[in-house]
Amino acid sequence: MNVPTVNPARVFVPRDAAARSVGADEVAERIAAVAALAGREIELVRTGSRGMLWLEPLVEVATPGGRVGYGPVTPEAVDGLVAAGILDGADTGAPTSLGPVEDLPWMRRQQRLTFARVGVVDPRSADDHESYGGNAGLRAALDRSPDQVVEEVVTSGLRGRGGAGFPTGIKWRTVLGAQDELKFVCCNADEGDSGTFADRMLMEGDPFTLIEGMTIAAHAVGATEGAAVEGYVYIRSEYPDAIETMTAAIEAARARGWLGAGILGSALEFDLHVRVGAGAYICGEETSMLESLEGKRGTVRPKPPIPALAGLFGRPTVVNNVLSLAAVPWILANGGAAYARYGMGRSRGTSVFQLGGNIARGGIVETAFGITLRALVEDLGGGTGSGRPVRAIQVGGPLGSYLPVGQLDLPMDYEAFSEAGALLGHGGVVVFDDTVDMSLMARFAMRFCAEESCGKCTPCRVGAVRGVETIDRIRAGEEPTKNLLLLEDLCELMTDGSLCAMGGLTPMPVRSAVKHFAHDFGVTP
């Protein structure tokens, strides 16, 4: 097949941490070296990941008809691929030759609103951000009054994507109405749930969208006469690539006048700062994060007062997750009603689901709420990586329920999950095959809580330790029926008496494991 030569060839290789972990840097270096030896001029663009992690490192090449993909590509395969014509987008005939990336089934099944630019743009290029529609939402927001912006977010139905599911617009409305000379916008990027990585991928693949969303929030809530608004992105220390990329993007935004004084020629003054956490899972909870930002040990604050009225340093504060804030630019650019047309019930818009664990095709899927768990795990995910039957799926991180295969047709919806005694959380989906011992997974939940508890309240701090001991007795065959009753009493105490969701939700995976997989605990259901 004759393929028209594009000169210089534009070649895209991810800089995302997941792609780099399997050799993307080496692939990029080899492509540059081989092209130079062949006398071929190329433009090598380092992007974020498209989210098809089983195909990483994924190499894309621009052609007149769009980008074509090759993956997974190893450094050793580069010489042969270049000889076969990949710099011109040729079909090599090998399984790694994928064709047009946008036509791949994984991509076609999605509705990418928040992740529209992830894997497409150079995440450190302000020019790329604008050329692919960036700042359209911010410009639309600056043309409106703060209260109009807030009401647009209310209309969208956007809810907190960090796990709590609280309506974002209602939170913003509260901060807008608070009278103070200083307010804060804080992004909680302490993504600590097992099986979740969407925040990291957004920050590494399209950080300017997060900056834009936080700037819109600053305009929306800082209407007090003469009020100043400051912003912080709190990133977990385990994300060095995200920290580096966000820092570089913030510096580039300042240089372009997108942060600082007179943003885009308006009266808005707003700046952002990156702060790095010290590895405490509890700082995923908003008040613990605020304590850490203030230079204190991350422990939960009693509520009230709520952070919207008395947050960082006692000032009115917006605290939102990465994905919540990153959804806002699309909403302002296209309208809250347009966003609300996606989804079902009270779960409006799209959610970014993360497929992990024992799964054949793990990665990122952004789609409207309402897709079933089966469609995610079996259709998009391809079933288990081991090829064995699926036995359990945990949704919502380490504090989410373990769901049996009988609940695979559950729609991904906040209310549907709540009615099923489950938690949608941050959208993490972790798959287990039929070799898993669910009593061990219940023990893991209690042990996790014991390790990560801030220690502020007794039900969580002590209850989790007692929970591990009780499950150990059950697993040893010591009066399982009696100890299961004791475990249930303990779960009830932790649910009702814990200060925050850390201890309050730990019983959820434990109870679900006992309910759906009783045989693993030595009892007959």
Domain 9-101, CATH class in plain words:
alpha beta
Sheet holding 228-235, edge to edge: 270-276, 228-235, 182-189, 317-321
Least confident of 4-8, 41-45, 186-190, 340-344: 4-8
The Cα–Cα gap between 92 and 103 comes to 17
**Residues 249, 221 contacting (CB under 8 angstroms):** no
Q: How many CB atoms lie within 10 A of CB 118?
A: 28
Domains 9-101 and 126-339 share a fold: no
CATH (residue range 126-339):
3.40.50.11540
Would you kindly state where each structural domain of the chain is located, as residue ranges?
9-101, 126-339, 347-433, 438-521
Report residue 71 as tokens. 């993956």
Average pLDDT on 156-164 reads: 87
Average pLDDT on 353-377 reads: 97
Select 347-433's CATH number: 3.40.50.10470, 1.10.3720.10, 3.30.390.50, 3.10.20.600. Answer: 3.10.20.600
The Cα–Cα gap between 183 and 218 comes to 8
Task: Give residue 6's pLDDT.
Answer: 61
Domain 438-521 architecture = Up-down Bundle (1.20)
**Residues 473, 479 contacting (CB under 8 angstroms):** yes
Higher pLDDT, 1 or 167: 167
DSSP per-residue letters across 201-267: HHHHH-HHHHHHHHHHHHHHH--STT-EEEEEEEE-TT-HHHHHHHHHHHHHHHHTTSSBSSGGGSS
For residue range 476-525, list pLDDT tens digits in order. Answer: 999 988 999 999 999 999 999 988 888 888 889 999 999 999 999 887 76
Task: Give residue 30's pLDDT.
Answer: 97
Assess whether pLDDT exceeds 50 at residue 2.
no
